[in-house]
Structure 1
Amino acid sequence: MKFFLYHVVMKLNIKNETSRLRSVVLGIANNNGPIPVPEACYDPKSRLHVLNGTYPKEADMIRELEEVAKVFEKYNVEVYRPKIIENYNQIFARDICFVIEDKIFLANILPDREREVDAIEHVWSQVEKSNRIRLPEDCHIEGGDVMLWNEYIFIGTYLGSDYANFITARTNMAAINALKTYFPHKKIKYFNLRKSNTDPYNNALHLDCCFQPVGKDKAIIHKNGFLDEEDYKWLLDFFGKKNVFEIDKQEMYDMNSNIFSIDENTVISEVNFIRLNNWLEELGFTVEKVNYAEIAKQEGLLRCTTLPLIRD
């Protein structure tokens, strides 16, 4: 009798931000490494907390991530975690990879973070080889800048000629043009984001730091995150002003737009986002509230720590 080993192929499916979630990668904070020196920080908010002596403790971040893992368990979502690399920050799974339809893209991230990619090889290898995409080296892109909304792909970028001077500029036009070749049937809309290496109140690290759709037709938006007011107005018109929750500079800093949808009626949100959570609940959403304020000190929140693989 002959035995045949069949390689399990994961059938990826991501077409929007809010369809029922079935499978996800959730970041991990175990063995997270020492507090970085200010010059080694990838974003101004982390740098600020290092300088102030308020950088998050590993134990607190582990606890916060486990709160989210329990919510996923409650909703029967399959959860993958990165393999632990000793003394290495692996919290923000969205930065290193993203899925569009049935294809998974390895992000061309900051060179210092390349090892994070190896830690999700057990996920990457389950995908059909033809659907595993690594873009050319000149294509800079991170998952927080890529947002799917049915026939649209929304992408955050920075169009300034001084792009190379900003460690906070993570997605360039070369990457956007490359995605156009993979998805000619999609409408790709890109947004010029405000960047700062030193001021977290005036820095949209990724598109999801100043904008995110929720439900079927709602959105959270921070106007000042967009360098071009026309981009902000376009989103306001697209969703309709009555469907938009506008957040102020402090709420943007606290990461109010960086919540995460389990389905069209259910979101995971930070417990301290009182104004936002009230708005969502008044609209009929179920809001699963978690503590995530320590992780937020690194300029990322719920969407940044999650990498959806399959939605219905």
Structure 2
Amino acid sequence: MMQLNIKDETGPLRAVILGTAKSNGPVPSPEEAYDPKSLEHILAGSYPKEEDMIKEMDAFAQVFHKYGVQVFRPEVLEDCNQIFARDIAFVIEDKLFHANILPDREREFEAIHEVLDRIDPNKIIRPPEEVHIEGGDVMPSNDHIFIGTYTAPDYKNYITARTNREAVEFIRDMFPHKTVKSFELRKSNTNPKENALHLDCCFQPVGKDKAILHKNGFLVKEEYEYLVDYFGPDNIFEIDKEEMYQMFSNVFSISPEVVVSERNFTRLNHWLRDQGFTVEEIPYAEIAKQEGLLRCSTMPLIRE
């Protein structure tokens, strides 16, 4: 049996699910777009090609192999976008949570059966139906759990609002010994530069005490300032609207010292190296067109 263990975003990674771009399906119609960035590329005729995305994900897998990480891939479903493994499930401590996501993505969860079969069934948690939650909004940070949410009355009008108030309460009840802190995120169905699809689109811890942050992603100034105080102003890399759109905060940590980043993120990668990180640069710009990047396409299972 597999003993799950995830307490933070940066501990040394031992096992991970990496999504797949194989049999990704035809280019969606504008009506089928789930986020404004995909819509933009569908309309512009620049939606990513399957073979390019497969190459990008292979480059990511190679980095994992280099660091001795065990990599699981989902079973390939025909004509199904299975890139974003983070959407369908997430791990906190020794429990795997089955995300309540858009109903037509349910079979994506079933496609990770190779992993599910190795986990004690009592450790696989399916939240009640009214709890809407996706892994991109959930960030364990030792004694804290940070959760991105949107709780305004017009929640149901936003296909980009993925985690609700009930989800925050649910996680609070599951982990009474932790501080569960929620953050209201800015949502837009139409403007990708004004839309924080998930918390990891405007914030992510790196190393032991640093973070990437985008102020405009947060609707409540005090909530943004909570993170600045938590990490300390000198430990924060603040990204602008264009960099958030390029998904600068959606890098992925293999350990407190090693960060996988997109090769075009020049300003960020330079800062990371200045802070003493090893930066593994890979091409991921095609996948980024679907408003998801490195963290979105991984689902860590075990960190030491």
TM-score range normalised by the length of the shorter chain: over 0.9
Provide the residue aligned with 1:3 in structure 2: none
- Whole-Å Cα distance in 2 between the matches of residues 138 and 121 of structure 1? 25
Length, aligned pairs only? 304
> Per-residue deviation at 1:113?
1.1
Provide the residue aligned with 1:96 in structure 2: 88
Provide the residue aligned with 2:244 in structure 1: 252
In the alignment, which of 155, 169, 191 is matched to residue 163 of structure 1? Answer: 155
> Per-residue deviation at 1:111?
1.1
Q: Secondary structure at the match of 1:114?
A: helix
Q: Can you list the C-alpha shifts for 1:106-135, whole angstroms capped at 9, x where unaligned?
A: 000011211101101221121111111000
- Whole-Å Cα distance in 1 between the matches of residues 219 and 170 of structure 2? 23
TM-score normalized with structure 2 length: 0.99
In the alignment, which of 215, 219, 235 is matched to residue 223 of structure 1? Answer: 215
Spell out the pairing of 1:97-176 with structure 2 (5 A cutoff): 97-176=89-168
Establish whether residue 39 from structure 1 lines up as the match of residue 21 from structure 2.
no
Provide the residue aligned with 1:5 in structure 2: none
Kindly provide the amino acid, as one letter, of the partner of residue 175 in structure 2: F
Provide the residue aligned with 1:86 in structure 2: 78
> Per-residue deviation at 1:176?
1.2
Spell out the pairing of 1:1-312 with structure 2 (5 A cutoff): 9-312=1-304
Q: Which aligned segments of 4 or more residues in structure 1 are displaced greater than 4 angstroms? A: none
> Per-residue deviation at 1:297?
0.2
Q: Can you list the C-alpha shifts for 1:71-117, whole angstroms capped at 9, x where unaligned?
A: 00000000000000001000000000000000000000011211101
- Whole-Å Cα distance in 2 between the matches of residues 271 and 138 of structure 1? 39
Bigger CA radius of gyration: 1
- Whole-Å Cα distance in 1 between the matches of residues 118 and 263 of structure 2? 35
Q: Which runs of 5+ in 2 are unaligned?
A: none
Kindly provide the amino acid, as one letter, of the partner of residue 205 in structure 1: L
Kindly provide the amino acid, as one letter, of the partner of residue 127 in structure 1: I
- Whole-Å Cα distance in 2 between the matches of residues 117 and 41 of structure 1? 20
- Whole-Å Cα distance in 1 between the matches of residues 39 and 78 of structure 2? 22
Q: Secondary structure at the match of 2:159?
A: coil
- Whole-Å Cα distance in 2 between the matches of residues 58 and 129 of structure 1? 34
Q: Percent identity?
A: 63
Aligned-pair Cα RMSD in Å = 0.5
- Whole-Å Cα distance in 1 between the matches of residues 212 and 257 of structure 2? 15
- Whole-Å Cα distance in 2 between the matches of residues 74 and 163 of structure 1? 42
- Whole-Å Cα distance in 1 between the matches of residues 229 and 171 of structure 2? 25
Q: Which runs of 5+ in 1 are unaligned?
A: 1-8
Q: Can you list the C-alpha shifts for 1:170-216, whole angstroms capped at 9, x where unaligned?
A: 00111111111111111100000000001000000000000000000
Q: Can you list the C-alpha shifts for 1:7-29, whole angstroms capped at 9, x where unaligned?
A: xx110000000000000000100
> Per-residue deviation at 1:235?
0.7
Kindly provide the amino acid, as one letter, of the partner of residue 119 in structure 1: A
Q: Can you list the C-alpha shifts for 1:216-246, whole angstroms capped at 9, x where unaligned?
A: 0000000000011111111111111100000
Q: Can you list the C-alpha shifts for 1:22-59, whole angstroms capped at 9, x where unaligned?
A: 00000100000000001101110000000000000000
- Whole-Å Cα distance in 2 between the matches of residues 256 and 188 of structure 1? 25
